[in-house]
Amino acid sequence: MIFTSGATESNNLAIRGVAEFYKDRKNHVVTTMTEHKCVLDTCRHLEQSGFEVTYLPVQKNGLVDLEVLRNAITDRTVVVSIMAVNNEIGVIQPLEEIGKICREKKTFFHTDAAQAAGKIPLDVEKMNIDLMSISGHKIYGPKGIGALYVRRKPRVRLVPLIVGGGQERGFRSGTLPTPLCVGLGEAAEICAKEMDGEAKRLKKLQERMLKGLNDKLSDIVVNGDLEQRIPGNLNISFAYVEGESLMMGIKGLSVSSGSACTSASLEPSYVLRALGVEEDMAHTSLRIGLGRFTTEQEVDTAVDELVRHVNKLRAMSPLWEMAQEGIDIKSIEWAAH
Amino acid sequence: MSYSEKLIDHYENPRNIGTLDKNSEDVGTGLVGAPACGDVMKLQIKVGADGLIEDAKFKTFGCGSAIASSSLVTEWVKGKTIDEAETIKNTDIAKHLALPPVKIHCSVLAEDAIKAAIADYRAKSAKKDDITDTRSDSGHEHAHPND
């Protein structure tokens, strides 16, 4: 384990480090279209320095197609980087199967496990994981600390991003922040102890929330596979209601809008787009997180708040009105602006 | 993002939500934006016999700024003539609500919506006049009250 400043640095170090080290023999990286920005951006940088990158599409449920993955790997592929759990939709990729394919094809397997660590069992041996990134604050540990697992047998070599005194086996120089490292370790231990019980408790809350919403609202869609998913995540499109306006209404709840309307780009989430979610539906999505401190009472309050505001916003939505009148909004020629 | 009190007030207590009869001759309807872009505004005006906008209603699919912008313009156009209403600028809306730079497009959309509603009303009136003109061919000169 190499301590880093967080999963962003771990992902940078893993992908760039391994690509740079083996660049004389290999020049190809495989990843998916739904990775976290720090993986995608690292890959873009590699492309600029001459590497080839394959961005695999995902299926409608958010999972990679293993045959598509198998066919994408060539003898020039240095690393396959596929996240364990998606940060927006919470789907769990088939890590064991991916690891098996990578081992067969003699390429390294890196997984960004920032959203998976502490939530689902991760076994680097069973899953043939060569490099794995984790983050402190995603497992209730301190911010500013993360780690990268680097396999020793068979050995994975990396070019470091930060050089100097040769700390962390030379992979990451600089004095470590001892309190943060200890905090990460403690957080990991607590997660490991509580994992089974927490998974069951959160699954109940997730089901309670979804049932509550489905009982009182029509036209809502869960984005991403519901089974291959961590119980702490729900990503829901509330049709005919724009996500950011809904967020503004449910002030007591801390959720995030799948729609990136807050940025100047006005682009909806690239993850949802990769799933084939239509743009109009992508604009109506919310990511709802359930965690260690979420109670049943809070889930019920959240359901009530969501239902109240979705109904209020639908009452003022011209799209909802059209849908009630039986007008297909896709039949209208909308002016771009 | 931090929003002004005026914007939050319009979002939380939107004025003039509703629908007027789009087939009525004295109603002009503007529908602008696109679902794929994340905002759609429907704005309607009802023009009285005196040429003044006597009622305005809106429905908006969009962020809080889009809802507030359309709510605000329905308040502003009421009691104005359509010529006066047409002079409402997006910059006035943006300034009044203190829209952050990334939300300026919401005020542009609201201006477009009122212009579209006025254009629809004018097109309807012209059509009505055409019919009246044809009828008056056989007889006396038709005097339009607004002439």
**What pLDDT, in 10s, does the model give residues B2-12?**
899 999 999 99
Determine, for residues A279 and B39 on separate chains, whether the beta-carbon distance falls below 8 Å.
Answer: no
What number is the average pLDDT over the span A153-175? 96
In chain A, how long is the greatest CA-to-CA distance? 70
Q: With contact defined as beta carbons under 8 Å apart, do B118 and B82 qualify?
A: yes
Q: How far is A245 from chain B (nearest CA, A)?
A: 4
What is the rounded CA–CA span in Å between residue B52 and residue B78? 8
Place of tokens 């394919």: A101
Q: What angle do CA B120, B124, B125 make, to 5 degrees?
A: 115
How far apart CA A333 and CA A336 sit, in angstroms, is: 9
B59 interfacial to chain A (CB closer than 8 Å): yes
**What pLDDT shows up at residue A335?**
74
CB B72 within 8 A of CB B88: no
HEC string of B102-147 equals HHHHHHHHHHHHHHHHHHHHHHHHHHHHHHHHHHHCCCCCCCCCCC
pLDDT in tens, A40-51: 999 999 999 999
Distance from CA of A232 to the nearest CA of B (A): 26
Cα separation, B5 vs B46, in Å, equals 29
The average pLDDT across A161-183 equals 97
Nearest-neighbour CA in chain A from B71: distance (Å):
11
Token duo for residue A143: 């911010």
Answer yes or no: are the C-beta atoms of B113 and B43 closer than 8 Å: yes
CB atoms A337 and B34 under 8 Å: yes
User: Which of the two residues, A337 and A148, has the higher pLDDT score?
Assistant: A148
Q: From CA B44, how far away is CA B106, in angstroms rounded?
A: 17
Q: Are B59 and A245 in contact (CB < 8 Å)?
A: no
Cα maximum dimension of chain B: 65
Q: Do B35 and A263 touch (CB under 8 A)?
A: no
The confidence score (pLDDT) of residue A254 equals 87
Phi and psi at residue A297, to the nearest 5°: -55, -40
A 10 A CB-CB count for A115 gives: 26
pLDDT of B138 higher than 80: no
Q: What is the pLDDT of residue A239?
A: 97
Query: Mean pLDDT across the stretch A5-31?
Result: 98
Task: For residue B15, give how far its alpha carbon lies from the nearest alpha carbon of chain A (Å).
Answer: 11
Q: Which stretch of A323-332, B32-41, B89-98, B128-137 has the lowest confidence by average pLDDT?
A: B128-137
From B21, B55, B39, select the one nearest A317 (Cα to Cα): B39
Which of these, A308, A304, A303, A310, lies nearest to A241 by C-alpha position?
A310
Q: Does B124 touch chain A (CB under 8 A)?
A: no
| Nearest residue in A to B13, CA atom | A312
Kindly report the pTM of this predicted structure: 0.90
* Strands A256-257, B27-34: pairing kind: unpaired
B108 touches A: beta carbon within 8 Å: yes
**What does the pLDDT read at residue B137?**
47
How large is the average pLDDT for residues A284-297? 96
Is A102 in the active site? Answer: no
Question: What does the DSSP 8-state code read for residue A170?
Answer: G
**A residues 62..91 contacting B (CB < 8 A):** none
Min mean pLDDT across A55-64, A104-113, A276-285, B130-139 is at: B130-139
- Residue B36 to residue A245, Cβ atoms within 8 A: no
CA distance A261 to A264: 7
pLDDT of residue B132: 64
Structural contact between residues A191 and A230, judged by C-beta atoms closer than 8 angstroms: no
In the predicted structure, residue B142 carries a pLDDT above the cut 50: no
User: Average pLDDT of A296-302?
Assistant: 97
**Contacting A residues, span 257-276, partner chain B, CB-CB under 8 Å:** 259, 261-264, 266, 268
CB atoms within 10 A of CB B13: 8
Which residue of A lies nearest to B65 if distances are taken between CA atoms?
A245
Nearest to A301, CA basis, from A212, A182, A190: A212
> Which pair of structure tokens corresponds to residue A150?
């680097």
| Arithmetic mean of pLDDT, A112-138 | 98
Query: pLDDT tens digits, residue range A220-277?
Result: 999 999 999 999 999 999 999 999 999 999 988 988 886 444 444 467 889 999 999 9
Q: What is the ipTM of this complex?
A: 0.86
Q: Cβ B62–A262 below 8 Å, yes or no?
A: no
What tokens were used for A253? 């709840």
Burial A146-155 (b: 16+ CB within 10 A, else e): bbbbbbeeee
The reported pLDDT for the residue numbered A262 is 46
**B63: annotated active-site residue:** no
- The reported pLDDT for the residue numbered B127 is 83
Q: Is A122 helix (H, G, I), strand (E, B) or coil?
A: coil
Using an 8 Å Cβ cutoff, are A17 and A171 in contact?
yes
Report the Cα–Cα distance between both ends of chain B, in Å, rounded: 50
Higher pLDDT, B145 or A255: A255
Average pLDDT of B19-41? 94
Other residues' Cβ atoms within 10 Å of the Cβ of residue A225 = 18
Residue type, A106: K
Q: Out of A241, A245, A317, whose CB is closest to B59?
A: A317
CA distance A89 to A312: 26
Of B1, B61, B102, the CB nearest to A242: B61
Instruction: Report chain A's mean pLDDT, rounded to a whole number.
Output: 95
Residue A38's pLDDT band (cuts 50, 70, 90): very high
- Measure the CA–CA gap between A199 and A144, rounded to whole angstroms: 26
* Mean pLDDT for the stretch of residues A47-56: 97
